[in-house]
Amino acid sequence: MVAVARIMNATLVIPQLDKRSFWKDSSTFSDIFDELHFIESLERDIRIVKELPKNLETVARARKHFTSWSGVGYYEEMKQLWKEYQVIHVAKSDSRLANNNLPLDIQRLRCRALYHALRFSPPIESLGKKLVERLRTRGGRYIALHLRYEKDMLSFTGCTYGLTDAESEELRIMRETTNHWKVKEINSTEQRIGGFCPLTPREVGIFLRALGYPPSTLIYIAAGEIYGGDTRLSELMSRFPNLVFKETLATKEELEAFTSHASQTAALDYIISVESDVFVPSHSGNMARTVKGHRRYLGHRKTITPDRKGLVKVFDKMETEQLKEGSSFSLLVRQMHENS
């Protein structure tokens, strides 16, 4: 939205965050990010204010859902709104601007906003850095595994492979009753075959072992509550007993301030993931894409993106005993990921 505000010659009001989603997180922008740093870092590019000026609070405003992945021309047309309105309320701010065919100064502004101006709030930054230091002390090098195997993700994607009938039904009901999730009827088998499902903890364990990572590898689990808990994690843990969670890395007192604030605990995961020696996302969600981009921006930092569609075929052959773990299996998986 920083780039959009620049294109439209607009003053940007510090955004209000979604508080009605699955997590029901009451965090504000300033709870998660260093608000003053954000404003001052971009003052030569756009004007940013903390809240709408009082003289504009009661004026009529345009409520606009900007079209996703739009180019500069689209927003030049949107300037027509200024002829009638002084305030434009942007209902959604995700993916509003195209990635390609943008002026170089706009692309640079996007990078400056995302990787320099947006800095986590001091409490989050401080604890995040401490946790990275503790991981380094434990093993020197570590993998950050973004294990997106949480209840909301499985329900949203309709992925029920390996779940019990009761768990599958629970996820179906959740999807049916979540109003802003538009797709209700989902074929789980088709989702998995198409590579749209997150890898299960078991599949991730098989995948990492096939790539040659030894059982002693230190792995930080960047995730919320794993659906199925320790039972579902057991096979991953049997292959890699050196699993670490924020709850075991930080003290109860250190995490107390972040309790019930999923966005803030996700920020801790983000810091640890960006700083990791290897980043492995089990699903290509928004956070995974942002971490990958940030690591690429900072230089050569290894990220391994599982070929989920290809791996499903391999895992299914394992289920029917056409393939077994071993050197041939590892070679096959490595060849699939030579360019990942």
* Res 93: pLDDT: 74
Q: What is the total residue count of the chain?
A: 340
CATH architecture under which domain 123-149+198-336 falls: 3-Layer(aba) Sandwich (3.40)
Coil/strand/helix, residue 159: coil
Alpha carbons within 13 A on the beta-carbon side of 32:
22
On the question of pLDDT at 146 being above 90, the answer is yes
Q: Cα–Cα distance between 336 and 281 in angstroms, integer?
A: 16
Residue 22: band (very low, low, confident or very high) from pLDDT cuts 50, 70, 90? low
pLDDT band at 21 (very low <50, low <70, confident <90, very high): low
Q: Which range scores top for mean pLDDT: 37-41, 139-143, 154-158?
A: 37-41
Tell me the per-residue pLDDT of 70-85, one tens digit each, with 9 for 90 and over.
Answer: 999 999 999 999 999 9
Highest mean pLDDT among 133-137, 178-182, 300-304, 324-328: 133-137
Q: Give me the long-range contacts of 44-50 (CB less than 8 A, separation at least 24).
A: 45/2, 45/6, 45/109, 45/112, 45/113, 46/2, 46/5, 46/6, 46/10, 46/11, 46/12, 47/11, 47/12, 48/11, 48/12, 48/13, 48/14, 49/11, 49/12, 49/13, 49/14, 50/13, 50/14
Euclidean distance between CA atoms 293 and 287, whole angstroms: 10
Domain ranges of the chain: 2-119, 123-149+198-336
Lookup: tokens for 92: 């959604």
pLDDT at 183: 84
Average pLDDT over residues 257-264: 88
Tens of pLDDT, residue by residue over 93-141, are 776 788 888 999 999 999 999 999 999 999 999 999 999 999 999 988 9
pLDDT of 312-324, one tens digit each?
999 999 988 898 8
- pLDDT of the residue at 96: 74
CA distances from 213 to 200, 207, 218, 277, 315 (A): 18, 9, 10, 13, 18
Write out the two tokens for 308. 């989920």
